[in-house]
Structure 1
Amino acid sequence: MVFVGLSLPDDLVEQARAADLDMSRLAQDAIRRALDAHAVNEWLDDLASLESIDVDYDLVKQAVTAAKDEFGL
């Protein structure tokens, strides 16, 4: 594991220590959430750039109904 120094306001560190919080774990969790959000945003950007196509509504409805039936939903 790599050691990375973070700059945090003094009062925030004092409060976190007083609350006996694991700042390393919290930082890891926050970074993971930020990376997940970034990945979702990239996926949405990619999705928005796709060319739209005409889709028959009834065929989509049938496919969704079949999938729901298959998974018992």
Structure 2
Amino acid sequence: WADSAVMIRCRFKVRPLDQWSVRREFLKRLKDDFDAAGIEIPFPHVTVYAGVARDGTAPAFPVKRSKDSA
């Protein structure tokens, strides 16, 4: 989670077993408010280069597909 996490901590007093519906409603309202304000949470992107040559070019990376992955 480290690089991709956005941690927001809140505490609410709720009746027993209401915590799940309160949590869902809070997250929905938070997302709606962020969207309305144009707030986006950027996440890091990773590019993996396998076997980069000295001139900066990289050969095609062979990918094999097994019978089970379809």
User: Which structure shows the higher helix fraction?
Assistant: 1
TM superposition score normalised by structure 2:
0.34
TM superposition score normalised by structure 1:
0.32
